[in-house]
Amino acid sequence: MIPIKPVTSGATTKSTSTPAEAAAAFLRPGTLHLTALPPLSLYVHFPWCVRKCPYCDFNSHEARDGFPEKEYLDALRTDLEAALPLIWGRKIYTIFIGGGTPSLMSAAGLDRLLSDIRTLLPLDGRAEITMEANPGTFEMEKFRSYRASGINRLSIGIQSFNPHHLQALGRIHDGDEARRAVDIAHAAFDNFNLDLMYALPSQTLDEAAQDVATAIGFAPPHLSLYHLTLEPNTYFAKYPPTVPDDDLSAEMQDMIQDRTAAAGYGHYEVSAYAQAGRQARHNLNYWQFGDYLGIGAGAHSKLSFPHRIIRQMRYKQPKAYLENTVKGSPVQEEFEIERGELGFEFMLNALRLNDGFEVNLFAERTGMAINAIGQALDQAERKGLLYRDHRIIRPTELGRRFLNDLQQMFLRE
């Protein structure tokens, strides 16, 4: 963390208070008092993909006739330049390039993007720089170029090694391409994540176990294992496939716990498993209520200042984002998180961590005393959903099983 200084908020708001008024605001009841800013990450969104998957609710758009790479890279730089007054003097500790399918970018395009970022932002010497990639877009030389440009971690969207399940999920790769992608990742990177899903349409327990065994056989430093959910406004929500029932899904989850633990992976977050020291630093910053600046179509930001915390969202449609960025206004929405919502927002993230969080982190990241959520903490502890002592707060095994119920207890009291 770094000591906080007054920060101009850019085009959306401007401070005109005198020193006396600023002091009065500091003492006003209900005002936040952050004594230090949290770590800052950068998220870059690439909105295009080859084909929209039927389960996907991310901001992704099929690139049927290609995509305007140069114009988009120009816009990303303009977007970042416009956001600089919000983060003057702050170092970037992690970068995540997500999508969509960022690995559709040319090697030269990715190199330009990272060069622009380095030119405009101070990066920590150990910055974790992750790019999402799909197996259907893997080429050895291209990924070697990505590595040479500065990408030091890949997150590969495998989802399954089973050709029937890949077809049901609408993926553009098959099982052999998935295995080849992991081989390329091993050759070019020493840090990567494999994304898999379970409880897939018509999937059996044995089939789920085979996917997990295949993934573990590659010894990836990190595994993300997600339960398929039928999200609103997706093809699967409109035409629901037959998926495993709750009992079978629970058996799959138990199998995953057993197999990953036996292979030496620590289960540190709801869907995340890592070898020792290989946790995803970018995602940990989210879960610990750190700050992040998001640039690109539909990207979200959460930024802290001495007495307030704001959220932003960029224009979602690529065309609207490009047009508005040229006009100097890429941000479609900006609002301050109300004091009464901060406790819930913090706990919504931090309770995803199996080991929980240190008590003083709440005050550091929200600017409020822990007793601001005291009533909900007491209630959760009485119900056996939460463990706490003078140092740590974490969900119990029961709390992890009923995490949504536990999180909702921290909605505004």
In the block, tokens 């998926």 appear at: 243
Query: Would you state the pLDDT for residue 259?
Result: 98
In a domain, 204, yes or no: yes
Mean pLDDT of the region 108-123: 97
Query: Would you state the pLDDT for residue 137?
Result: 77
Are 58 and 95 within 8 A, CB to CB? no
Q: How many domains in the chain? A: 2
Residues 100 and 221 in one domain: yes
Residues 250 and 393 in one domain: no
Q: Which of 92-106, 168-182, 294-308, 339-353 has the lowest mean pLDDT?
A: 168-182
Average pLDDT across the chain, whole number: 90
In a domain, 234, yes or no: yes
pLDDT digits (tens, 9 = 90+) for 209-257: 999 999 999 999 999 999 999 898 888 888 999 999 999 999 999 999 9
Residues 254 and 380 in one domain: no
CATH code where residue 145 lies = 3.20.20.70
pLDDT, greater one: 413 or 348: 348
In a domain, 194, yes or no: yes
Residues 219 and 368 in one domain: no
Domain boundary among 239, 256, 284: 284
Range of the domain at 195: 37-284
Residues 124 and 232 in one domain: yes
In a domain, 14, yes or no: no
Residues 81 and 178 in one domain: yes
Domain boundary among 284, 306, 333: 284
In a domain, 325, yes or no: no
Residues 386 and 256 in one domain: no
Enter the pTM of the model.
0.90
Query: Would you state the pLDDT for residue 18?
Result: 41
Residues 126 and 230 in one domain: yes
- % of the chain residues with pLDDT over 70: 92
pLDDT digits (tens, 9 = 90+) for 314-324: 999 999 999 99
pLDDT digits (tens, 9 = 90+) for 22-47: 334 433 445 788 989 999 999 999 99
Residues 257 and 124 in one domain: yes
Residues 105 and 251 in one domain: yes
Non-local CB neighbours of 254 within 8 Å, separated by 6+ positions: none
155, pLDDT greater than 50 = yes
Domain boundary among 266, 284, 302: 284
In a domain, 304, yes or no: no
Q: Beta strands 48-49 and 61-62: pairing type?
A: parallel
Residues 221 and 83 in one domain: yes
